[in-house]
A and B are shown apart, each in its own frame.
Chain A
Amino acid sequence: MIYSIAVRPKEKNGSVIKVYYLEISKENPDIDLLANTLFHNPLTEELVPELPQENITIVMRNNAVLDSAQKSIIDGCRRLGVEVEAAKVAHCYIGEVPASVFINPLIHVKYHEVPQLETLKPRGSKVPMEVVDLREYDDKGLMQMSEDRDLSLSLKQMRELVLIQMDLEQGPVSDVFLDIFAARWSDHCCHTTWLSCGLLNMLKRATEVIANPNLVSAYYDNAGGWAFYDNLVLCISIETHNSPTGKEPYGGQITKLLGNIRDIFEFALGAKPIGSLELTVLGELARKKFPEIAGFTLDADIVARETIRAIADAGDPMGIPMMLASMDSHPGYSGKPFALGGNVGITRKEVAQKGVPRIGDWAVVLNWTGNDGYHGATVSSGGLTEKTDTGDANHVQMGDTFPQQKLMRARLELRDNDCLSAGNDFGAAGFTSFMEIAEATKRGVGYAGGVKLNFGWVPTKCVGIPDKIIAVGESQERFGHVVKPEKLEEAMAIYEKYELMATVVGIFTGNNRVQIFNDPDATKLTVESPLTGVVSFDVPYEMFDRCPLPTAKPVAPPTLSPQIVFPKIEKKNVEELAIQVVGSFALANQAWATTQYDSTVQGITKQGPLYGKNYNIPSSLAVLKPVEDKNWGVTFSSSFAPWQFDVDPVAAAFNAVADAVIKQIVAGVSMEDICLADNFYTPDKDPYALWYLCEQVKLLAETSVAFGAPFITGKDSSHGSGEYNGTIVNVPPGVCVSALGKVPDFHKITPHLWSSPGNKLYSIGYQTKTLKGSILASELDLIERDQIDTMTIGQGARFLKELEVFTQAGHFASAVPVNRGGLIQKLFEGVQASGFGVKTDLVEELFPESFGSVLVEVSPKISGLVEGYFNGEIELVGEITATPEIAVQGTNLDMNKLFNAWNSGFTRKVVV
């Protein structure tokens, strides 16, 4: 029977009523006890005996999506002696639903009268396994099958599956077979675009050439490993979750954030996450370039609000400090936002290599499987079309923080008690991630591979979940652990201690085959035991290697003939242009969002994500001190400038590397202690995108070698296009570059904050003269494909070396990179952060964006030394003054106007 308890706040006089629905079998449960003890704070809330009958909207999660509060409700009620079987929390809005509340039909169900609910449990009906004889289909039929089943496989891939079916000699193949191959051969998992062009090898080779002694692991685990001090190892993972975020931003962003964290705590044999990165680029806020796509995607302000809500709701409970956070806007991301997140972790050297299963190890799955999260990998690999965008909504699951937060702790205890041979999360593609664990032969570690799984033992959220969904459904909170048989009891005790559900579902066989059967009645499983019940998959690993690669050839773009003429910048229009820059969405005050993310949990934060006397200026470098009794510092920076990529994707890629690295160097990090992560996001419907991608990768490889900073992890998303009623929306071909470093003593980091009036400010490094790709150009709508001038790779490497030496001598009182918004943005931020002012004689030099240069504060006593050292690459910007003003050639800018523009540029577009 379904019982309900309705509660409303006394203060707000009941415009929103919270309704707890409880499914209880036992008769006469003590609902009053629950209402008065658990569900109701008598000081601030009152019980609502009966819900209004009209003019109401009741919203709750639909039955397919479990309510994340259910487990806690069940636990609390049980403690009070009432056994609850299922629970949901609804909100009942009287009158209009507030504009700030986003009801997503993909997740929520909505009633306008009090519903008569029959059950709160996810319902399912047994769907029998389907079998298909691929040999009976011609090319048209194969492609129709790929489309109808959301496989996102090409004709070449479908044809290869026909051959595999014939080679297997097992008769028709199952739907499980089709879905597993679709997941394994998806661009998301197999990186077919990159493989076909040899791009991944390009970066890997560069990393090998650099041969940095800090390298622990690169490009073969969930994250890259980088030596810290003593026997400690840092790990870094940066990943995007672009596909569903435009349509289901709350769930999509939670999934992104939790996915990044899982990559860290499932790194090697387990690591502790210590810092998060958040970066989301939305469409349409900056320009209304594609009005015709309205209706196909959510409005960008909703995506923004839901993103912030998701990152706070999921990130804060995880207990990992937010290192850096920002939001940006560009019309190219109207279809699919750039939803990027990252995480840094720490572990010990002896457990920092990916684990290897042994024959006879148990395959243990954590948590349960639902029918949400189906086709995550294949849909994220397909272009966002009207079909995938408006069709099956279950391709991404709502990530649930609570079980993952518990597992994050359990994982370290399992590691420290040597319980596991290996482990992995079930990110995109579900159990196929488990299969990857068993595929150890490719790493040359001596295990022949092979796993046998009984899907009849897999705990499910509802009855009748087909094996194909169990196989590839994402189910974010699921994990696969390889438990040593002699440690099974100990491991199970640890899972229980953290209140996690762990179930043995298979065994590692060493027979080099993936074998899946469904026999709920099976009582025994050994390496030799036969497959019983319904056998859906029995395939040797080498079949997965037969993925045909695409044959697309890069097509160079035509010669450019830029038309844009930029306005002359003079003293008389500096203030007007400065207001446009500091008030732009990307550079305005985003503290309203950033302060919603816990940045000080763990007690290890030394710098970031904000700084300044009002704690509202974004840091360019995060600094953590992760070891209790040591001053060792972890440094983290990131760079992505969408307008630059719009104008010159290749030059912008170099700028991204230079910017990420110089943030570290000018803080005092040695180049040899810096490693990099790449995250490419490129369109699939731009005919020149592949050419840009190849040029970018080549340039990144060359730059990393020249700088001596290797790329140790990276991800790519090559489907950044959407088509809506014939309108194609492409993301600019771009790559976000992040840098991870270390310093022996965090106290020696150069601060951002200006220290003293009278000190001089210099811009050091390559000074660009153009506004191409700048924030100002975007605000003036002067963006077109062109060439952006940058320093050469050689110039950059030499300059960074010189800067490294000078910085480590401690000559700079403060330093910040000059990048987006140019010098004017950094001067404004410097004034806001310090409460001091600045006077400058520069005018037109204030607006170009010289990525790879820095604004440094120097005592007048050593200004001669600085000017001599950086001769030819230095420009005097001005002098710090005592009062918070910006004087340009003797005239003060109106600080009130600048402040108001900066303070409202973000919030007026996002906050309702």
Chain B
Amino acid sequence: MKKVFVIYWPGINCEEETMAAFRAVGADPQLVFVRDLISGKIKITDCDLICFPGGFSYGDHIDTGIVAAVMIQEFIQALLEAKIPGIFICNGFQIAVRAGIFGNNNLALVQNDSGVFCSRPAKHFVEKSNCLWTAGLEGRTLKFPAAHHAGKVTTFGHVNRVMRYEGLSPNGGEIAAVTNPNGTLLGIMDHPERPIGNKDGLEIFRNGIKAV
């Protein structure tokens, strides 16, 4: 079974359903505490796949994802060099962006246009891209819920788009998911792991496992 590291920072709250999604597609998810990475007890590259789940790492204090990004900063280069596929969901996406996983100075996740948290169903049209997580899903509309406060993708340079919102956008933005240049990493604000067993969402997780 493919080993998936689901990283836990204090304040993360979606780790269980995320691990359930990986289990549902036959993977072996393991919850890894960031303190164990910092102490050297666990090496971040000792996995087949990596996932930063959703939540409110460090209470979203200062700015969404920034404290968690600072905590994990020293391991990012090793992670990118190992070319380990990764999925970064909601707060995990915010952490990844602040940690430079999707590039530096090209992308920010800003407050929703409404100015408030938005929890509602959302539709995601899969665009043509090289992202391994959405291979074969291009042209389809996937349904899974949004739940975030600062999820509007704002670009400051080139960004590889993977999905766009169809119908009502929960944050006022158009882009729903992005990938890195070689298509191994998926950053997504909404929650393909919800509800547990969501067939649309599981196709994304299944693609990740297939790729490794």
Contact = CB atoms under 8 A, between A and B. Distances in A.
Given A597-B119, A605-B195, A402 B62 contact: no
B13 interface: yes
B121 interface: yes
A417 to B, nearest CB: 16
B166 interface: no
Contact of A595 (B70, B119, B156, B195): B119
Interface of A: 20, 37-39, 41-44, 68-69, 71-73, 75-76, 79-80, 89, 312, 316-319, 322, 401-402, 405-406, 497-499, 595-606, 610, 615, 625, 628
B29 to A, nearest CB: 13
Given A72-B58, A72-B61, A497-B33, A43 B13 contact: no
Contact of B70 (A44, A79, A318, A497): A79
Q: Which of A42, A76, A401 has the most CB of B within 10 A?
A: A76
Contact of B13 (A79, A80, A319): A319
Contact of A402 (B10, B110, B116, B147): B10
A603 B196 contact: yes
A603 B10 contact: no
A596 B117 contact: yes
Interface in B33-72: 33, 35, 54-56, 58-63, 66-67, 70-71
Given A72-B62, A600-B147, A600-B191, A37 B70 contact: yes
Contact of B119 (A75, A598, A603): A598
A904 B195 CA distance: 31
B120 interface: yes
B14 A76 contact: no
Contacts of B70: 37-38, 76, 79-80
B67 A603 contact: no
Contacts of A73: 61-62, 67
A34 to B, nearest CB: 10
Contact of B58 (A75, A497, A596, A628): A75
Nearest to A498: B10
Contacts of B147: 316, 598-601
B161 interface: no
Contacts of B55: 317, 319
B11 interface: yes
A133 to B, nearest CB: 48
Contacts of A499: 10, 35
Contacts of A599: 119, 147
Contacts of B59: 68-69, 71-72, 317, 401-402
Interface in B1-40: 10-11, 13-14, 16-17, 20-21, 33, 35
A287 B118 CA distance: 31
A476 to B, nearest CB: 15
Contacts of A68: 59, 61
A41 B154 CA distance: 13
A17 B121 CA distance: 34
Given A76-B70, A317-B60, A615-B121, A600 B110 contact: no
Q: How large is the interface on B (under 10, 10 to 19, 20 to 34, 35 or more residues)?
A: 35 or more
B66 A76 contact: yes
Given A498-B10, A596-B116, A604 B196 contact: yes
A317 B13 contact: yes
A43 B108 contact: yes
A403 B158 CA distance: 39
Contacts of A80: 70
B105 interface: yes
Contacts of A597: 117, 119
Given A499-B10, A600-B191, A600-B195, A44 B58 contact: no
B145 interface: yes
Closest 9 CB pairs of A and B: A319-B13, A603-B17, A72-B61, A69-B61, A317-B56, A72-B58, A603-B196, A402-B59, A76-B67
Contact of A406 (B10, B67, B105): B10
B17 A602 contact: yes
Q: Which of A319, A406, A497 has the most CB of B within 10 A?
A: A319
A685 to B, nearest CB: 38
B75 to A, nearest CB: 12
A780 to B, nearest CB: 34
Contacts of B124: none
Nearest to B195: A603
Contacts of A69: 59, 61-62
Given A44-B108, A79-B71, A603-B191, 6 more contacts: A20-B62, A44-B154, A76-B71, A405-B56, A406-B11, A604-B195
Given A600-B195, A603-B20, A628-B20, A615 B120 contact: yes
Nearest to B193: A603
Contact of B117 (A72, A598, A604, A610): A598
A604 B195 CA distance: 6
Contacts of B58: 72, 75-76, 402
22 contacts: A20-B62, A69-B62, A71-B59, A72-B59, A73-B62, A75-B58, A312-B116, A316-B149, A317-B13, A317-B60, A319-B55, A402-B11, A405-B13, A497-B35, A596-B116, A596-B119, A600-B195, A601-B13, A602-B16, A603-B198, A615-B121, A625-B195
Nearest to A406: B10
A318 B16 CA distance: 13
Contacts of B61: 68-69, 71-73, 89, 402
Nearest to A401: B59
B108 A41 contact: yes
B118 to A, nearest CB: 6
A510 B181 CA distance: 67
A322 B62 CA distance: 26
Contacts of A316: 56, 117, 119, 147, 149
A600 B194 contact: yes
Interface in B150-199: 154, 156, 191, 193-196, 198
Contacts of B156: 43
Contacts of A602: 16-17
Contacts of B154: 43-44
A79 B10 CA distance: 15
Contacts of A317: 11, 13, 55-56, 59-60
Contacts of A20: 62
Contacts of B118: 595-596
A601 B108 contact: no
A38 B67 contact: yes
A43 B105 contact: yes
A42 B145 CA distance: 30
A89 B62 CA distance: 8
A497 B41 CA distance: 13
A318 B120 CA distance: 18
A39 B108 CA distance: 15
Nearest to A500: B10
A703 to B, nearest CB: 35
A312 B62 contact: no
A610 B120 CA distance: 9
Given A20-B62, A596-B116, A628-B196, A318 B13 contact: yes
A38 B66 contact: yes
Q: Which of B16, B66, B119, B198 has the most CB of A within 10 A?
A: B119
B98 A319 contact: no
Given A319-B14, A596-B119, A603 B194 contact: yes
B71 to A, nearest CB: 6
Contact of B66 (A41, A595, A603, A604): A41
Nearest to A37: B70
